[in-house]
Structure 1
């Protein structure tokens, strides 16, 4: 894991990265509970509170999990929790991939009918798909290259904390990204709207060859 983190850090100026001495989110070793301020976004039964784009048939619910298997589509949270809008938060998602599968978890995004979500950031889901950017990456911004910290066919946890201008991503409790967005950051092209702000979450169905399962989707608003 140490080697993976170093690989990501050398790609970006030190000024863009948070200092290790700052408060770190606690390592979560059990499923969050409502008693601790966590709120479930997925009921484990159907897609109530979620809206799919482009190809809704890509998403189904099987054995308590949201399954992606089909043409490109994204499943956006449109439910009532926090009015469907999140600024500072912690997000907990259990994920499992089949071999050669790609997916992602978006935050600070918004519903769009087609295409890759233009707004917000993506937390990568990819163990063995051909894309070099692997699970735990802040896609296109801080990338974990070539080697995933977890394996296919195994459940793991992506835990994302956004507070102010700082994003911390953990995979099974271990930090893969600790990124502070520069003030007045500017990006071009497809990445132009990869900025912190406010928005909802989305789960990605990447392509017909990718099968990814998401379960235990919890949020803890911090704003």
Structure 2
């Protein structure tokens, strides 16, 4: 006689995650530009705009790039969350851009408020999820790195004071859409590129390079932990497009 036993244990279904769009695909509602050399809200040369459902960084109105490093800030600060979006580099770098800025952009998290930036301040105090594209064949240029303008972090129980730390990620050479996700869980942060974890770090604090280019009020916060802040998208002289920008706040 063959007996069959069936478990009556109820299988719990995972709850759907309620992601919130930060970009409506139509205009820059909720976003404000801060471009080096210009007042907050001056979207110089229409650098940031929306076309075909994507938030794009364009330089077609520039004669040349002369340090107009820019950041497009979302209106709300966040602390614990998952952030994800898609990006792709397109076209050619504008004349005058730095060689290192070719196919180079970023997502800045834990930013100082845009109102606290000086007119002539190229980069906010923040943690940068650096986005890079390949330029020369067989020359590695991984995406998803960490750069630290005015910040320090802990990695493998050591204080990291380098400005940029390379991620464990492949190089993307073409103009395909790439998915990036950032998980901020209290004081631990991980970057993902196309679903792969590429770098992790923790306990960010204010300090180091770029701090001296900020206001005295911000400089006075040296050594303080960064437990949250604003999110911004970067413009560094190479055209880039973003879409499907959304966030899931964590408890």
Q: Using structure 1 for the length normalisation, give the TM-score.
A: 0.70
Distance 2:179 2:72 in 1: 19
Given the alignment, which residue of 16, 21, 30 partners 1:40? Answer: 21
Q: Secondary structure at the match of 2:130?
A: strand
Distance 1:103 1:193 in 2: 27
Distance 1:218 1:188 in 2: 30
| Contact 1:39-1:219 at 8 Å conserved across structures | yes
Given the alignment, which residue of 53, 67, 83 partners 2:34? Answer: 53
Distance 1:186 1:120 in 2: 8
RMSD, aligned CA: 2.7
| Contact 1:156-1:171 at 8 Å conserved across structures | yes
Aligned residue pairs, count: 178
Q: 1:170 and 1:48, CA in 2 relative to 1: closer, same or farther beyond 3 A?
A: same
Distance 1:107 1:72 in 2: 16
| 1:174 corresponding residue in structure 2 | 196
Distance 1:171 1:222 in 2: 20
| 1:8 corresponding residue in structure 2 | none
Distance 2:167 2:225 in 1: 19
Cα deviation for residue 117 of structure 1 reads: 3.0
Cα deviation for residue 45 of structure 1 reads: 0.5
| 1:188 corresponding residue in structure 2 | 208
Q: Secondary structure at the match of 2:210?
A: helix
Match status 1:118 vs 2:118: no
Q: 1:193 and 1:141, CA in 2 relative to 1: closer, same or farther beyond 3 A?
A: farther
| 2:248 corresponding residue in structure 1 | 220
**Which range is displaced more, 171-180 or 66-75?**
66-75
When Rg is computed on C-alpha atoms for both structures, the one with the higher figure is 2
| Contact 2:69-2:236 at 8 Å conserved across structures | yes
Distance 2:224 2:179 in 1: 23
Match status 1:128 vs 2:134: yes
Given the alignment, which residue of 214, 219, 235 partners 1:205? Answer: 235
Cα deviation for residue 134 of structure 1 reads: 3.8
| 1:143 corresponding residue in structure 2 | 166
| 2:98 corresponding residue in structure 1 | none
Which string of whole-angstrom CA distances, capped at 9 and with x for unpartnered residues, describes residues 105-132 of structure 1?
A: 01111213553333220000111369x8
Q: 1:120 and 1:133, CA in 2 relative to 1: closer, same or farther beyond 3 A?
A: farther
Cα deviation for residue 199 of structure 1 reads: 1.1
Unaligned runs of 5+ in 1: 1-34, 79-83
Q: Secondary structure at the match of 2:200?
A: strand
| 2:88 corresponding residue in structure 1 | 96
The structure whose residues are more often helix, as a share, is 1
